[in-house]
Chains A and B, each alone.
Chain A
Amino acid sequence: MKKRLGVLMLALVLVVVSVAGCSTGSTSKEDEVTKVGFIYVGPADDGGWSQAHDNGRAKMVENMGGKVETIVKENVPEEKSAVISTIRDMVDQGCTIIFGTSYGFMDGMVEAAEEFPDVKFEHCSGYMTADNLGTYFGKIEEPRYLSGIVAGLTTKTNKIAYVAAMPIPEVIRGINAFALGVKSVNPAATVNVSWTNTWYDPTVEKAAAEALIQQGCDVTAQHQDSTATMEAAKEAGKLSIGYDLSAATTMPEVYMTAPLWDFSGYYTDAVQSVIDGTWKSQQYWGGMNDGIVLLDELTALAPGTAQGQVDTATEAIKSGQLNIFTGELKDQTGAVKVTAGSKMTDEALLSMDWFVDNVVGSLK
């Protein structure tokens, strides 16, 4: 009797489970929600890079109006195994497109793209592509050049601190663009670079910024994801150029402006193309004209003459009159790298490994 009851119970359980399985299966098809994964290297509210992506994500969800659900994973280390396991997790949860937002995710994404050929992958700032893996990035050097104008007009000691993450072409290009912006208004000023070898570590970023400030820099700029550099400037009573996000409300004591990212348009277009079935792997590299990069409004702390000069340069860049990397450009040793009047090719820009002559710092 007991045994028969047991069998009956088991059968009942099986029926219930299978019915439940069927019902969840059918509802998810009816909803037609596209699941989108986002992988961040830092916290989503880091006040910088990851938050810029997260803002773009939120705006995209708003634009898509209920057709999209996002799954976010923060603080993912730039290690292959961590990236792959994060992606597997996201695919398990039903993601059909996954955005990886840090350069170091590249190897992991390439491998995951092979493992999941039906899932679309988009990697920010990388160079490896596949049929289902595209890259996207923006010409942040354009607004960086503009922020250099502001810094060049602000500095009194003619030394500008630049706390920078890693000596890779993306960062070097940004520093050179910034330095050329400085040079365009203040040829006597130098841009003093300190490497931290980390994208996000407020402890290291602050120590690096403090060192530069005490060595005589009176304006700070940064290619880092936290606001630690600006915190150091605040403690020392200096002024700052931010990065990634506007710090006008969070760091009002020091913030003048910042080169900003706006990924909302790109994310909306990319997700829409997945829904429409028109998504194709591409290497996207947008500029100020596309709206993916921009310079924040200048605050009252910026020198009065800056607005006019920034406006003029903005117009010139947008109309194509001004190409930032136009010769004659010399490197730190004084050797001519770009001859007068000629422009650098995209290839040369993407593999840039030298500093222009008003940068102080080493690439070794």
Chain B
Amino acid sequence: MEFVFFLAAAVKAGTCLLYATLGEIISEKVGHLNLGVEGMMQMGAVVGFIAGFTFGNPYAAVLCAAIAGAAGALIYGFLTISLKANQVVTGLTLSIFGVGFAAFFGKNFVGKKVPEAITTFFAPIKLPVLGDIPYVGQIFFTQSIYVYFSYFLVIAIYIYLYKTKWGLNTRMVGENPVAADASGIPVDKYKYFNIALCGALCGLGGAFLSLVYISIYPVNVVSGRGWIAVALVIFAMWNPGKALLGAYFFGALDIASFWLQQYTLPVSIYLFTALPYLATVFVLIFTSMRKSSNKKEPAWLGKNYFKEDR
């Protein structure tokens, strides 16, 4: 029974990672490595919290968070798409910017509580029928509406990327923008749209932390989870379904130390707090050894497209 509770907590802890990972998958599918996930999550978290705190309305809070994340992504988009700046450097800068943005605007909100109206709105709801399935119901279907929305997003993004014309075009831009351009696909428009979508999802991931996961706004709410999301994209092999598994796995690692402390273990508890980062290293090693081409990153990932060089 305790293990079921643990898994339910892991799903909750992994949800912010899931949003951010889905976002980064979309960005990378269009050929843009955006290392600014941490920054966009921070922006979403702080703007979402401020909006929620000011308006007391969950919809307004979530919407503002998504807009803030997308705004951060569009800065990145403008620099890398229109001005052809280096993607890695721009992404890193966005991360630093987002952390500073959150620290600056969040300063007066540190220690403030999430309003009651929002806490009740996002409180766990047991779904009828599905919630009654033994174990599975308790783990996956006794959660916040914010978590349910992420299940929906996994399916929606899978359909978008693999079952629609837009998704096909998106992937083509990421694989070979030269061919895409030649076949009449507006490359830059696709890039802007998908990068903004990535930002909005990262913003939602950050706001999950500041509106649902916690009760009191802290100094640094995201604290490195954005970087784990970047690694998760590789772990998930750019597949939304596998992103779900990866996010929950890392969610479990995130909280494992609190659950394991009650057992006498032969190793130090500090090992468990280091586990998510250790696991990230191993994931990167193993995925870099993979040979199969359909599990690899998009061919033009990280490279800017110069129309004039065609």
Q: Is the Cβ of A207 less than 8 Å from the Cβ of B111? A: no
Q: Is the Cβ of A211 less than 8 Å from the Cβ of B255? A: yes
In the complex the two chains form, what is the Cα distance from A47 to B255 in whole Å? 25
Tell me the nearest residue of chain A to B268, going by C-beta.
Answer: A364
Q: Is the Cβ of A211 less than 8 Å from the Cβ of B259? A: yes
Question: Does A231 lie at the interface of the complex (its beta carbon under 8 Å from any beta carbon of B)?
Answer: yes
Q: Known contacts A197-B273, A210-B9: does B255 contact A228 (CB below 8 Å)?
A: no
Q: Is the Cβ of A211 less than 8 Å from the Cβ of B9? A: yes
Q: Is the Cβ of B13 less than 8 Å from the Cβ of A206? A: no
In the complex the two chains form, what is the Cα distance from A235 to B265 in whole Å? 30
Residues of A within 8 A of B267 (CB): 364
In the complex the two chains form, what is the Cα distance from A232 to B265 in whole Å? 26
Question: Does B280 lie at the interface of the complex (its beta carbon under 8 Å from any beta carbon of A)?
Answer: no
Question: Does B269 lie at the interface of the complex (its beta carbon under 8 Å from any beta carbon of A)?
Answer: yes
In the complex the two chains form, what is the Cα distance from A100 to B6 in whole Å? 39
Question: Does B156 lie at the interface of the complex (its beta carbon under 8 Å from any beta carbon of A)?
Answer: no
Min distance, Cβ B57 to any Cβ of chain A, angstroms: 21
B contact residues, total (Cβ < 8 Å) = 33
Stretch at the interface among B20-28, B175-183, B213-221: B213-221
Q: Is the Cβ of A75 less than 8 Å from the Cβ of B110? A: yes
Question: Per-position contact with A for B245-261: 1 when CB-CB < 8 Å, else 0?
Answer: 00000000011001101
Min distance, Cβ A256 to any Cβ of chain B, angstroms: 19
In the complex the two chains form, what is the Cα distance from A228 to B258 in whole Å? 15
Q: Known contacts A203-B223, A212-B258, A226-B216: does B111 contact A45 (CB below 8 Å)?
A: yes
Which residues of A (221-260) have their CB < 8 Å from a CB of B?
A: 226-228, 231-232, 235
Which of B217, B255, B258, B267: most chain A Cβ within 10 A? B258
Stretch at the interface among A26-34, A129-137, A187-195: A187-195
Residues of A within 8 A of B269 (CB): 195, 362, 364
Q: Is the Cβ of A47 less than 8 Å from the Cβ of B9? A: no
A contact residues, total (Cβ < 8 Å) = 34
Q: Is the Cβ of A193 less than 8 Å from the Cβ of B261? A: yes
Residues of A within 8 A of B221 (CB): 203
Residues of B within 8 A of A210 (CB): 9, 258
Q: Known contacts A75-B110, A197-B273, A362-B264: does B216 contact A207 (CB below 8 Å)?
A: no
Q: Is the Cβ of A203 less than 8 Å from the Cβ of B218? A: yes
Which residues of B (235-289) have their CB < 8 Å from a CB of A?
A: 254-255, 258-259, 261-262, 264-265, 267-270, 273
Question: Does A43 lie at the interface of the complex (its beta carbon under 8 Å from any beta carbon of B)?
Answer: yes
Which residues of A (112-170) have their CB < 8 Å from a CB of B?
A: none
Q: Is the Cβ of A203 less than 8 Å from the Cβ of B258? A: no
Residues of A within 8 A of B162 (CB): none
Question: Does A97 lie at the interface of the complex (its beta carbon under 8 Å from any beta carbon of B)?
Answer: no
Residues of B within 8 A of A274 (CB): none
Q: Is the Cβ of A215 less than 8 Å from the Cβ of B262? A: yes
Min distance, Cβ B138 to any Cβ of chain A, angstroms: 11
Q: Known contacts A47-B111, A194-B258, A207-B255: does B219 contact A75 (CB below 8 Å)?
A: yes
Q: Is the Cβ of A200 less than 8 Å from the Cβ of B218? A: yes
Question: Does B309 lie at the interface of the complex (its beta carbon under 8 Å from any beta carbon of A)?
Answer: no
In the complex the two chains form, what is the Cα distance from A315 to B166 in whole Å? 76
Which residues of B (1-51) have their CB < 8 Å from a CB of A?
A: 2, 5-6, 9, 13
Residues of A within 8 A of B217 (CB): 202
Tell me the nearest residue of chain A to B103, going by C-beta.
Answer: A75
Q: Is the Cβ of A203 less than 8 Å from the Cβ of B111? A: no
In the complex the two chains form, what is the Cα distance from A197 to B254 in whole Å? 14
Tell me the nearest residue of chain B to A167, going by C-beta.
Answer: B269
In the complex the two chains form, what is the Cα distance from A362 to B13 in whole Å? 24
Residues of A within 8 A of B107 (CB): 75
Tell me the nearest residue of chain A to B225, going by C-beta.
Answer: A203
Min distance, Cβ A72 to any Cβ of chain B, angstroms: 14
In the complex the two chains form, what is the Cα distance from A210 to B13 in whole Å? 12
Question: Does A42 lie at the interface of the complex (its beta carbon under 8 Å from any beta carbon of B)?
Answer: yes
Question: Does A360 lie at the interface of the complex (its beta carbon under 8 Å from any beta carbon of B)?
Answer: yes
Residues of B within 8 A of A235 (CB): 123, 215
Which of B113, B123, B255, B261 is within 8 Å of A361, CB to CB? B261
Tell me the nearest residue of chain A to B107, going by C-beta.
Answer: A75
Min distance, Cβ A41 to any Cβ of chain B, angstroms: 10
Question: Per-position contact with B for A202-218: 1 when CB-CB < 8 Å, else 0?
Answer: 11001110111011100
Given contacts A207-B254, A214-B6, 15 further A-B contacts (CB under 8 A): A42-B111, A43-B111, A193-B261, A200-B218, A200-B219, A201-B223, A206-B213, A206-B215, A211-B6, A214-B2, A214-B9, A215-B259, A216-B2, A227-B216, A231-B216
Supply 13 A–B pairs (Cβ within 8 Å), ascending by A.
Answer: A45-B111, A46-B110, A47-B216, A75-B110, A192-B262, A195-B269, A203-B218, A207-B9, A208-B258, A210-B9, A212-B258, A362-B261, A362-B265
* 9 A-B pairs closest in CB distance: A231-B215, A202-B216, A211-B258, A214-B5, A43-B111, A208-B258, A43-B110, A364-B268, A202-B218
**Chain B contact residues, CB within 8 Å of chain A:** 2, 5-6, 9, 13, 107, 110-111, 113, 123, 209, 213-219, 221, 223, 254-255, 258-259, 261-262, 264-265, 267-270, 273
